[in-house]
Amino acid sequence: MEPSANQDVYAVILAGGSGTRFWPLSREASPKQMLRIAGEDTLLRQTITRIHGFVPSENIWIVTTEDQAQELGFHIESLGPFTKKMRFINEPVGRNTAPAIGLTAIYLNHLSPESVMVVMPSDHAIPDREKFLDNLAPAVQGAKENYLITFGIRPSRPETGYGYIKADPSLEARFSGLHKVEGFFEKPNLETARRYLSEGNYFWNSGIFVWKVSTILSEIRTHLPSLYSTLKGIESLLFAPHKKDNLDQPSISQTAIPPPPWSTLYASLESVSIDYGVMERSQNTLMVPATFQWSDLGSWNALDDIVERDDRGNILKGNTIDIGSRDSIIFSGERLVATIGLKDMVVVDTPDATLVTAKEKVQEVRKIVEALKKNQREEHLFHKTVERPWGSYTVLERGIGYKIKRVVLKPRERLSLQLHRKRSEHWVVVAGTAKVTKGDETYTVHTNESTYIPMNAMHRLENPGEEPLQVIEVQNGDYLEEDDIERFQDDYGRKDHRGTP
């Protein structure tokens, strides 16, 4: 099937982030890696597409937290059936990159200790796949010679928001396509950044790493001995003889994660980044001077690096009308955003919230999210449209005693068999044909017909057709939250109640 793929190379995609820096487009339930902010697809799906084929499907592993795993699983399904072969490594809690990479290395050590790990953030932008893979080849070679390989991006400006790698190209003859790393440097001030730029041998630290499983475990033992010791403890719990079958079933389900106490051990780990904990301390590092375009998308402003700007320096997306703005980023969806005479501004519009900020203040969007949390608002948690494995729903309106949703059901999908204790529902079919189960009855509701689901009635909505089914649902009741759901059967293996009709 994938004859040329590197059987001994594993892609480890770090997807535990829940960034707030792209609010209002990002929400707790829609973290940065799930956004379409640079390119046509979401950052996570672009990351998978970038590496898929270079390694076999089953060698693509996603590292995330238990909380996010199910959502991410639904999210990547649309890439195709191969995603079923991918594997999820679920951290019990987030503990930064060194523990996450260490945990993954423990699993791989059991499977194939001399294999190579390509560690990639899930939320960076790299538009050119071919160049990326060209750069990856020497990195894999270097890794096979027991080096820690990192990717340095040649700086285009004196950026103060990135860490830098100082590289020595004089040894390139010895390491084909690789530079010796002389040191890692934290985010510089502007003066220092200018010096780095003029000296020419400083590179931005991309956060992409390649190494052998045995190499990184050995480096962790040397530089993070406490982490190493805990990882060995976790290994013994995970791979005790009677647990061995856990590893034989790579899948996106969560069943590979054993219950405590290993999760308790993991939770006890100190949060530390692999950059700080290992890379900056090791003498064993080489760097690929990357030739691909890259951005870590640290804020809305980063789009200027990675998305093509018009001749006034603007990035306009969605339903916008602009008169005379310059060097601004204007993101809209279906609603109209009209802008006049902006300069160095960011405007981001979503169905329930709009952000308008000066580019130089864009980091303060975090404070907006904090304020929303503090005031128990919802604009930082969910979007009005929520993607589900069976389709999506959009909250069109909430009022006292009622809530209106548009429910879109993909062909041949169905919601779980469920009931609500505190609300009744009117369904009006506006496109397609619905198969409705209510109590013991099953019947068909066509376009322009409606049906009523009383409180406490077991029910199910199904799309038996080949076209999307659209239903307008008017809920009535005193309590209309998503957790009023008792689920009796679900095609998607969902048991929890959170936000999942």
Under the rule (CB under 8 A), what is the footprint of a second copy? 24, 321, 323-324, 335-343, 345, 347, 349, 352-358, 360-362, 364-365, 367-368, 371-372, 377, 379, 396-397, 399-402, 404, 406, 424, 426, 428, 430-431, 447-448, 450, 452, 470, 472, 474, 476
Cβ-contact 196, 188 below 8 angstroms: yes
Nearest distance from C-beta of residue 25 to a second copy, angstroms: 12
Q: How far is the CB of 477 from a second copy (least distance, A)?
A: 8
Q: Which two tokens stand for residue 486?
A: 């008792």
Closest distance of CB 37 from a second copy, Å = 18
Task: Decide if 180 contacts 167 (C-beta within 8 A).
Answer: yes
Give me the least distance between CB of 79 and a second copy, in Å please. 28
CB 92 within 8 A of CB 44: no
Q: 435: which 2 tokens?
A: 């198969």
The label of the residue with tokens 């950052």 reads: 43
Neighbours of 201 (CB within 10 A): 17
Please report which helix (H) or strand (E) contains residue 165, including its range: strand 164-168
CB count in 10 Å sphere of residue 245: 8
- Which residue, 382 or 492, has its beta carbon nearer to a second copy? 382
Q: Phi-psi category of 476—alpha, beta or left, where left has phi over 0 and alpha has psi -120 to 50?
A: beta
Closer CB to a second copy, residue 343 or residue 421? 343
Task: Return the number of the residue (240 or 431) whose C-beta is nearest a second copy.
Answer: 431
Distance (Å, whole) CA 435 – CA 15: 37
Output 326 or 494, the one with its CB closest to a second copy. 326
Q: How far apart are CA 494 and CA 285, in angstroms?
A: 44
- Name the minimum Å distance from CB 319 to a second copy: 9
Q: CB-wise, 197 or 455, nearer to a second copy?
A: 455
Residue 246, burial from CB neighbour count under 10 angstroms (0-12, 13-18, 19+): middle
Q: At its nearest, how many Å lie between a second copy and the CB of residue 257? A: 37
Q: Which is nearer to a second copy, 156 or 447 (CB)?
A: 447
Amino acid at 381: L
> By C-alpha distance, which of 373, 382, 432 is closest to 407?
432
Quick one: 110 or 384, whose CB is closer to a second copy?
384
The distance of closest approach from Cβ of residue 128 to a second copy in the complex, given in angstroms and rounded to an integer, is: 33
Give least dist CB 162 to a second copy, A: 23
Q: How far apart are CA 462 and CA 156, in angstroms?
A: 53
Residue closer to a second copy, measured from CB, 283 or 376: 376
